[in-house]
Amino acid sequence: MNTDTLGPFKSATVDWRVSEGLVDYPDAVAIMERRVAEIADHRAAELVWLLEHPPIYTAGTSADPSDLLDARFPVYQTGRGGQFTYHGPGQRVAYAMLHLRHRKADVRGFVHNLEAWLIRTLAHFGVIGERRAGRVGIWIERSDGGEDKIAAIGVRVRRWVTYHGIALNVAPDLSHFSGIVPCGVRGHGVTSLAALEVQATMADIDAALREEFATVFG
């Protein structure tokens, strides 16, 4: 696994970890599961982990096998909610390991807060992200009236500790999404900050995520 940067991304109540390079998905899941157990047992602080994965597809608990159109990348079954999604370089993944018993024991409310976190982060870059009824994730309205997905959400909760989280398309190769029906939603596209001609580094994204996390989650 790659070297992590802690430094300024640490507070008294929530640890922040930023991994440089690409983190293999099975390694990330193992680390999350271990940390979730430690948080549940009051042996570790809550954690927000920012990283990128190599190109992969992951299948949530509601994934329809017919939505895997071209398994050009490794496919991983995962216990998170949701359907198929893509992860890869240029996408900022944020895994949030938070103890809902110490916050608010409301999973729907937690997902709503994840959406607010993304919307507020996008606003830093002049991008209007929106929720859509019946569709998970954050959406961007195109000038032609169509809609594209810019961020995905998928969570799991064990012993009231959350894990998995969000994935924001900063500058990934959008052609990689063509191997799946993202989140089972047909008739809509995917986009990224780069495709919207927003110039933002991962450091810029991380700073905005950290600031808005404090606003939304306290």
Please list the active-site residues: 183
Which pair of structure tokens corresponds to residue 92?
């900022």
CA dihedral sign of residues 193, 194, 197, 198: positive
Query: Backbone phi, then psi, for 148, in 5-degree steps?
Result: -125, 145
Which pair of structure tokens corresponds to residue 182?
């993202």
